[in-house]
Amino acid sequence: MIDIHAHVLPGIDDGAKDMDEALTLLDLAAQDGVTRMVVTPHLHLGRFDNFKGNISPVFEELKRCAQLACIDIELAYSAEVRLDSDIIALLAKNELPLYGEYEGKQFMLLELPHSHIPPGCDMLVKYLKSVNITPVIAHPERNRDLLRDPKKINPLVRLGCWFQLTASSIEGKFGADCQALALHYLERDIIQIVASDTHSVKRRPPQLSHAKAIVAKEFGDARAKALFIDNPYNITATLFS
């Protein structure tokens, strides 16, 4: 499996606190069957200002330590970019870490506020699409606007966004409502990727296999393979080459 959303880089956001915890998370992921992981620290302007320049040295140290610890997992980095109008300027400066390139398009992990879908979200998405970037919307099943009205996702679907569910939502660990919405969106076939969004061993471990088994049982092995392996591979492969 390939996990494209993980807060494993130590000490730069609300994920792993130090290198020991980061290595523990990587080891747990590898034991669960994850062969590749894209680490994605928050880029939340004014709170976690994680641009390429400060992510890269932390990532290289994590990669070095993981190799020394003989953890069998390939690593690359991107970022979980919080919706903000300043994204446009940051893109122009080439400071935003993106996913790879697939079918001539680049991909960006984009986080909406948990509370709502902000006004102007559609305009930013249209801009990103105009510069050949497809947003991958993180954990829509946990957004309160969408929990109240699942159809509010439709404009983003029509704009061509991809969507990434959290594995533990499928398992019900965020509650029955988030689980129901995750399954509803899977039934609608508008989800492209499932990822762990791991933050810590206790808070959210890097486990995908249980959710993959649920998806395989409910929607078939081919669908599970697409969500946990094929689609994640396609949009991140160039990061590992």
Task: Give pLDDT, residue 82.
Answer: 98
- DSSP letters along 145-174, please? HHHH-GGGGHHHHHTT-EEEEEHHHHTTTT
Task: Report how far apart, in Å, the C-alpha atoms of 110 and of each of 133, 204, 232 are.
Answer: 11, 19, 15
> Does residue 73 register a pLDDT over 90?
yes
24-33, 59-68, 131-140, 197-206: which range is least confident on average?
197-206
DSSP-derived secondary structure letter, 9: S
226 to 216, 219, 223: CA distances (angstroms): 10, 11, 5
| Mean per-residue pLDDT of the chain | 98
With a cut of 90, say whether residue 125 has pLDDT above it.
Answer: yes
Percentage above 70 pLDDT, the chain? 100
Assess whether pLDDT exceeds 90 at residue 140: yes
pLDDT at 17: 97
- 171, pLDDT greater than 90: yes
Domain 2-240 falls under CATH 3.30.565.10? no
Q: Where are the domains of the chain?
A: 2-240
Top-confidence residue, 76 or 203: 76
Reply yes or no on whether the pLDDT at 116 is more than 90: yes
Q: Is the pLDDT of residue 203 over 90?
A: no
Q: Looking at the predicted structure, is the pLDDT value of residue 241 above 90?
A: no
pLDDT given for residue 182 in this prediction: 99
pLDDT exceeds cutoff 90 at 120: yes
Environment class of 175 (CB within 10 Å of its CB; exposed 0-12, middle 13-18, buried 19+) = exposed
In sequence order, what DSSP letters do the residues of 77-145 get, joined into one string?
Answer: E--EEEP-TTHHHHHHTT-S----EETTEEEEEEE--SS---TTHHHHHHHHHHTTEEEEEE-GGG-HH
Rounded-to-integer distance, Cα 55 and Cα 118, Å: 27
